[in-house]
Amino acid sequence: MVIEVESVHVAQLLEKAPVRALATAIAVTGAETRLPLYLVPSVYATLPRLRTGAKLMPSGATKVEAIGPGRWNLLAAGHQEASCDVAIAIPETAKAGDLVLVKVTAHYPKRAGAAARAVEFLQVVHVRD
């Protein structure tokens, strides 16, 4: 299985003109959003990607092999379960109130009786004093 880790920094989001315009448009219509603005795809795409030096730490009989920036092969012996922990560094520029979004995608290969698939997990890290 291939694991990808991507981190983005959400800082002072409403100061950016496109996000301010979107927030204003939503407020004017009286609509209520079900998503925080940073998860709206057009906003998320503008967030700066971080080079946080993400690390995968295997557990049990799992082995990790780096295959590129932010990408690893996760290998398990035989038919055992593969698992690992993910760690990132919070950027030094992060201030109290900022968010760091960590998206982990597990790419499962096609197997007998199961199609290939990708499963994403999103962790929201809230920076505090």
Q: pTM for this structure?
A: 0.81
Q: What are phi and psi of 119, to 5 degrees?
A: -125, 125
Q: pLDDT (tens digit, 9 = 90+) per residue, 68-108?
A: 889 999 888 777 778 889 999 888 888 888 889 999 999 98
pLDDT tens figures, 2-11: 999 999 988 7
CA angle 60, 63, 69 (to 5 degrees): 135
Q: Which domain holds residue 69?
A: 2-126
DSSP assignment of 91-116 equals: PTT--TT-EEEEEEEEEEPPBTTB--
Instruction: Indicate the SS3 state at residue 52.
Output: coil
The total number of structural domains that make up the chain: 1
